[in-house]
Amino acid sequence: MIIVLRPNTTQEQIDHIVEKLIKVGLKPHISKGLERTIIGVIGDERIISTYPLEAIPGVEKVLPILKPYKLASRDFKPEKTTINIDSKVTIGGNTLVVIGGPCSIESEEQILSVAKAIKEAGAHILRGGAFKPRTSPYDFQGLGKEGLEYLALASKETGLPIITEVMDPRKVDLVAQYASIIQIGARNMQNYSLLKEIGNCKKPILLKRGMSATLKDLLMAAEYILSSGNLDVILCERGIRTFEEATRNTLDISAIPVIKELSHLPIIVDPSHAGGKWKWVTPLSKAAIAAGCDGLLIEVHSNPEEAYSDGEQSLTPKNFINLMNEIKPLAKLLGKTI
């Protein structure tokens, strides 16, 4: 449930309410809006239903959250969430944030080359995989810590914040030392041990939708992270598995406006994994922007023919520049800057 506080509630009263809630075994989450402060309460429903919350000074009313995803819902936070990345870019605001980079970090030279190219083209964040979940155990699995070091070097050279994936709860602390944003991949969306661990991390989290997950599944996965204390969650639609075989996945454009209605969390789109071919990345990006996404996650490689993974869906730096030039007018038309 949520506790709606009176407009003139003091910080001392808020602290008192929080202390009371914790004392009886409930977990409070504070959301400060433009006009009101709301406290989301998670815990044993028997305690919540019997405790006289409205008797506490500063409390205006107590409302139930009927959706199973409590903290991710618009009921908990009516205003949209914006997430600041390294004090350089905000996701969820008026900027259409473009994230670019290779699927896998292959070498220092490769990631530096791509980082400089996307920076020059106007991208905001650099992506690169150091740990790669692959369908086949014989495929390239990533450079691990060495890859993270190359990614950090590219960030230092270009000033771009970086995003990279973590697959193992035991690697969360290591990845957090390097990443500006930590990605949870589609295959790990319902790895609840990993979600709980990442919830204890203080870095923004990019949560990709599982290939067979409903939007409710996605929001419930986000709830694991939020309920563990990390409120900086970015959702990512990257296509779902359907009967269609022409594309790698089927981009669910409807997910964008639906998520915007159900949740306050920002949502970006990965057109590379959705289409599976580089030539479809630009039109899918335009569709995602038109539907209201907060950003794009695009695979870029200096030489896709030689890429260790996902070469077919990777844009060359030249094609990435073309994409940026094509989407800027559309973003501007919809009130977004790039």
Among 172, 173, 182, which residue's Cα sits nearest to residue 151?
A: 182
Give the CA angle between residues 330, 163, 312 to the nearest 5°.
65
Find out whether 235 and 267 touch, Cβ atoms under 8 Å.
yes
pLDDT value at residue 160: 98
| Contact between residue 212 and residue 240 where contact means Cβ atoms under 8 Å apart | yes
Angle, helices 281-291 vs 255-262, to 10°: value is 30
**Tokens, residue 236:** 């990512």
DSSP string across 274-310? HH-SGGGHHHHHHHHHHHT-SEEEEEB-S-GGG-SS-
Q: Which two tokens stand for residue 297?
A: 């996650």
The whole-number mean pLDDT for each consecutive block of 10 residues of the chain, a chain of 338 residues, reads 88 91 87 82 75 85 87 91 96 97 95 98 96 69 88 97 96 96 96 95 96 97 94 97 96 98 98 97 98 98 92 97 97 94
Q: Residue 25's pLDDT is what?
A: 85
Q: What is the pLDDT of residue 21?
A: 87
Within 8 A by CB and 6+ apart from 1, the residues are 40, 41, 48, 62, 63, 64, 65
Extended beta strands in 160-200, E state: 162-165, 181-184
- How far, in whole angstroms, is CA 7 from its chain's centroid? 31
Rounded distance between C-alpha atoms, residue 286 and residue 283, angstroms: 5
In terms of C-beta density within 10 A (0-12 exposed, 13-18 middle, 19 or more buried), how is residue 275 classed? Answer: buried
Within 10 angstroms of residue 255's Cβ, the number of other Cβ atoms is 24
Is residue 128 within 8 A of residue 147, CB to CB? The reply is: yes
* Tokens matching residue 50: 């019997």
Contact status, residue 175 vs residue 197, Cβ threshold 8 Å: no
Please state, in angstroms and rounded to a whole number, the distance separating the CA atoms of residues 2 and 30: 10
Is the sign of the CA dihedral 312, 317, 322, 328 positive or negative?
Answer: positive
Residue of 311, 220, 224, 234 lying closest to 266 (CA atoms): 234
Cα maximum dimension of the chain = 67
24 DSSP assignment: T
Decide: 245 and 215 in contact? Cβ < 8 Å: no
Q: Please compute Rg for the chain using Cα positions.
A: 21
Q: What is the pLDDT of residue 272?
A: 98
The structural domains of the chain, ordered by start, are: 2-63 (3.30.70.1140), 83-333 (3.20.20.70)
Q: What is the DSSP letter of 248?
A: S
What is the pLDDT at residue 24? 84
**Structural contact between residues 307 and 103, judged by C-beta atoms closer than 8 angstroms:** yes
What is this structure's pTM?
0.91
